[in-house]
Structure 1
């Protein structure tokens, strides 16, 4: 019997590529997004079902899970992928913007997970895959709110894997580096303040250049597929992390800070 994966945020980028990648390999895919009527035609695949799901709306989550179970009878894997990036100096970001960032990237992930878990416990097994980022383990300037959500996802994932182990539910994280997707376009919000404008402009120039040279969504989809089929309890799966990640891991903090400031700030 084919396995079933429920994916949030499949309207573009990693989510869309992953839905198609799994479907082409025989999986049943519940591809969710806020408005399925706007779905990319590429998702019109016999192994894919499109369902409406807004991760900031508990009723929407409940309905999407019910639709998935009605269609496929089970959920073997949940991929928490929905999210967006909020960029700008912390001084310029409004409270409502920060709350919405956390509502989507963290609280929505938690709510979807909470609602799926009872069905996985009843089945006696399951896998939660959370899309984090390399900046869930290292910080960059002008992305504090977004990075805070990813640091939170890292801690959350590492914690709940212990809670869920007795029920044979595993937890894994996907940590992409720079990704050449719509993330640098429609999935990105910006807050700007004059005192920071020149410095932020330099950061964005480096950030966009890095994204343009980053991994394709299909490359990340392959990593997600490998994680979904890995029977081990491995927690983290890197997806083309890039040189900045490795420098951050091996360089002394003072050296790393000087390098980062020179490259991205001053």
Structure 2
């Protein structure tokens, strides 16, 4: 029996690559996005329904789920992929941008999840895949709000997995790092430009940007590489919770999880610790 997956944020980047990958694997795909009228590729793939879903609009979430069930009768899995990253100094970030970061990366995931659960319980099972980040495991300066949203997502997902196991619903986390050909970085850069400059941070910002520039030299995965990991998580038949999806973050993940706390914090402070 052909399975059906609903994916949020498929207009570009990882979401589109994942929709494409699952469709090529023979799944029915509900590719959701805020402006489906602009989509020109996914609409031509067989067994793909392109429909509107804005994670900040609860009515659109319900409508998208209804459209998916009307087309394919049943939804077997959901990928909460829609998200973006604020880059810049916390002090320079307006409160409305902080709210947007959490509305999309956290509360949007919660609203989509809440909306699909009655359908999954009715079907006696389902799968939820939440796209997290290396920034949900370790933190980096200039990404405090993005890290905060992904730490929240990690905590929510882990706790939810215990609850939903009682309903035969599996919940998983995908943790990518750098993705070479995604537009995510473009959005992050645009957010940084909007941040007002605070002169007291100039030396710190220059140093931190130099560190980030050096990290870009590390080989980054492609969207398709990460889509393969997502597909593996969706099809391996296990209740494994976390999947580190790119090689570039594995050293940082290992350091965060296996290094003594004082040693790890000292390492990070040495790397980013520039005073005024």
**TM (normalized to structure 1)?**
0.93
Q: 1:239 and 2:245 equivalent?
A: yes
1:45 and 1:205 map into 2 onto residues whose CA distance is 42
| Mean Cα deviation higher: 162-171 or 199-208 | 199-208
Structure 2: state its 5+ residue gaps.
none
Cα distance in 2 for residues equivalent to 1:219 and 1:43: 23
- Pick closer, same or farther for the CA change 1:206–1:117 going to 2, 3 Å: same
Runs of 4+ in 1 over 6 A off after TM superposition: none
Match of 1:184 in 2: 185
Name the CA distance, whole Å, in 2 between partners of 1:211 and 1:6: 32
Pairs within 5 Å for 1:69-80: 69-80=69-80
What SS does structure 1 have at the residue aligned with 2:82? coil
Give a deviation string over 1:101-152, Cα, whole Å, max 9, x none.
1000000000000001100110111001001112112111111111111111
Are 2:233 and 2:243, in contact at CA under 8 Å, matched by a contact in 1?
yes
**In 1, are the aligned partners of 2:138 and 2:252 still within 8 Å (CA)?**
no
Q: 1:197 to 1:75 in 2, by over 3 A?
A: farther
**Contact 2:87–2:188, Cα closer than 8 Å, also in 1:** no
On the 8 A contact 1:11/1:40 being kept in 2, the answer is: no
Q: Say if 2:28 and 2:47, in contact at 8 Å, map to a contact too.
A: yes
2:264 to 241, 256, 264: 256
The reply on whether 1:108 has 2:111 as its aligned counterpart is no
* Equivalent in the alignment of 1:51: 51
**CA shift for structure 1 position 203:** 2.6
Question: Are the aligned partners of 1:20 and 1:43 in contact in 2 as well (CA < 8 Å)?
Answer: no
The aligned residue for residue 66 of structure 1 is 66
Distance across 1 between alignment mates of 2:124 and 2:70: 19
8 Å contact kept, 2:13–2:223: yes
Aligned length: 266
Instruction: Find the counterpart in structure 2 of residue 130 from structure 1.
Output: 130
TM-score (normalizing by structure 2): 0.90
